[in-house]
Structure 1
């Protein structure tokens, strides 16, 4: 299969995920390729906050964020990290029977503390005998070089991934979110992380207020330019008790419906290189937190429809990526 883009022809990539019959590079496929096993992440809560919550750069946090809706650990009484891991493993083993586990610091900004505190928390989880890797979610304005040096020390002995919130390349949208940093901060953080043996994953949100289709495709271009290893793609969704819920209830913002999001998502994935792992393609929240849209509650059916739509269109991740020019010697 091939697709003309301008005057060039892009061939379907001969990737392992393509040979497996996939249309985009799914995270579970990456894990099987790299580790030869079914790896699951165990969410742990280190009790972190964020600099746009405590007043360092802003107050109130991100306009869409209630950490309880994003992280299972924030919906339970917090207990010591080793107990959180034991509890998480017990739940996952009972339901899925994984072969291995990563510890996932998910809620809030998990590099926003003193080096001593970070080392103590990270040491505690990697010392657990069942943990084979470390995943840390954070903001690009909270990774000073000494923090990256510390995280690099773990990457020398196990798999480590840092997740950065890019969200969008449009500053007006970051300002609406109350992020408290600019787009350049993301690129700087990625550049300083590169070459340390750390996988880099970026988060993006599609359907932000005021962003057109072209705006969202520009975010895809910016993501590609940063040359990260993986991406998590979220549709903008509304959870309760957030400033965005108030805006939504007042009719100030609109949310993409299922078909609109499908169109944007496929176009976004077509513009990503076939080597970029796609860890997530939708946002979700528990029923008692979710306000809108209702369709995200049917995640499994959405993923099935996404696969069918890729096949119907005979398209795939990377189809619209131009090949690098061949240099003449």
Structure 2
């Protein structure tokens, strides 16, 4: 179900006295119980890794630290999903359903018919008696320059049958920051992608990184304002953190870059959430990595106390998500649909090349 932001609608989370529109509570309301994501690594790569737009990947990226599925030997999609469900059930006694989360790398970066097979394979787990109807939907992580019309049409088709969230790595609206990361796309790509995705029946989530070197507080608030202007359904906030074996990690170890401090991060998250629409679902408010990968900041490992600090800051201010939101002059639903600006080099890899043998599908 697509959630078009309604700036005048009362929000359930507000009536519950919550400081922000938390993801877990939203899923409980939507599906009637606890919903857990299971990370899947289908073997995708990225266009800033394989040379389609550049090489080297993002300077902060070691997917082993971001995704549990890349810390073990890759299994087939089916095996990853079923074993993940079993593991979560052992940890939590009451789970109503699961979201198949295609997380590492760029999960729309493959021939379209192969994408169809991978996505439908995940949803087909519901056909097995022991997992009947446990998969309530999918989340698909991607880049804004990797969603040509053929891909969006496929995701729209799947969203007509199941919950689907398309998660864009926006990171920041500032192109200097995107260049520093070696993203090899611009914010114009993000605008083009979301304006073409709107109204297709799937959820649009934006991933944002706070604490990018060179970005001031005012610049991060400009990114917050853009969330409302473009009409994201959901947002993920991550603190920039450095892990071993990455260019960023090397710079932090050399003393060339410092990570944002804990209190600064708490203040920035609350400032950010105060400026986005109350309808936007907040899927994450921080990021972390396993302690054996993580260099800095160490405080991001303290997820529970960090969340309490953020909630406490809202209480101290007497504010909540959306308290300082200013609706854009043009509602997102009125924004025109632009032409597809997917780079030709990426389009060729998605629409012209043959099947990829590396994708972890069933034989």
Would the TM-score normalized by the shorter structure come out above 0.5? yes
Residue of structure 2 aligned with 1:109, choices 106, 114, 135:
106
Q: Say whether 1:94 aligns with 2:90.
A: yes
Return the alpha-carbon distance in structure 2 between the equivalents of residues 245 and 324 of structure 1. Answer: 38
Change (3 A) 1:13 1:159: closer
Change (3 A) 1:117 1:13: closer
Return the alpha-carbon distance in structure 2 between the equivalents of residues 47 and 299 of structure 1. Answer: 29
Query: Residue 84 of structure 1 corresponds to which residue in structure 2?
Result: 80
Deviations 1:76-103 (A, max 9, x none): 1111111111111011111123100111
Query: Residue 41 of structure 1 corresponds to which residue in structure 2?
Result: 37
Query: Residue 58 of structure 1 corresponds to which residue in structure 2?
Result: 54
RMSD: 1.5
CA contact (8 A) 2:229 2:327 kept: no
Deviations 1:223-281 (A, max 9, x none): 22111100000011111100001111222211111101011111011001100000000
Higher relative contact order (CA 8 A, sep 6+): 2
Return the alpha-carbon distance in structure 2 between the equivalents of residues 250 and 215 of structure 1. Answer: 26
CA contact (8 A) 1:67 1:74 kept: yes
Query: Residue 307 of structure 2 corresponds to which residue in structure 1?
Result: 303
SS in 2 for 1:43: strand
Query: Residue 6 of structure 1 corresponds to which residue in structure 2?
Result: none
Residue of structure 1 aligned with 2:207, choices 182, 203, 209:
203
Query: Residue 221 of structure 2 corresponds to which residue in structure 1?
Result: 217
Query: Residue 4 of structure 1 corresponds to which residue in structure 2?
Result: none
Q: Say whether 1:282 aligns with 2:278.
A: no
CA contact (8 A) 2:228 2:328 kept: no
Residue of structure 1 aligned with 2:122, choices 125, 136, 142:
125
SS in 2 for 1:22: coil
CA contact (8 A) 2:229 2:328 kept: no
Change (3 A) 1:302 1:32: same
SS in 1 for 2:125: coil
Return the alpha-carbon distance in structure 2 between the equivalents of residues 270 and 281 of structure 1. Answer: 13
Return the alpha-carbon distance in structure 1 between the equivalents of residues 240 and 161 of structure 2. Answer: 36
Q: Say whether 1:17 aligns with 2:10.
A: no
Query: Residue 337 of structure 2 corresponds to which residue in structure 1?
Result: none
Query: Residue 153 of structure 2 corresponds to which residue in structure 1?
Result: 149
Question: How much does 1:185 deviate?
Answer: 0.2
Query: Residue 254 of structure 1 corresponds to which residue in structure 2?
Result: 258
Query: Residue 322 of structure 2 corresponds to which residue in structure 1?
Result: 318
Deviations 1:54-86 (A, max 9, x none): 111111100000000001000011111111111
CA contact (8 A) 2:39 2:100 kept: yes
TM-score by length of structure 2 reads: 0.84
Return the alpha-carbon distance in structure 2 between the equivalents of residues 80 and 274 of structure 1. Answer: 39
SS in 2 for 1:132: strand
TM-score by length of structure 1 reads: 0.93
CA contact (8 A) 1:112 1:142 kept: yes
Return the alpha-carbon distance in structure 1 between the equivalents of residues 48 and 327 of structure 2. Answer: 40
Deviates more, 1:36-45 or 1:70-79: 36-45
Unaligned runs of 5+ in 2: 1-7, 127-133, 330-363
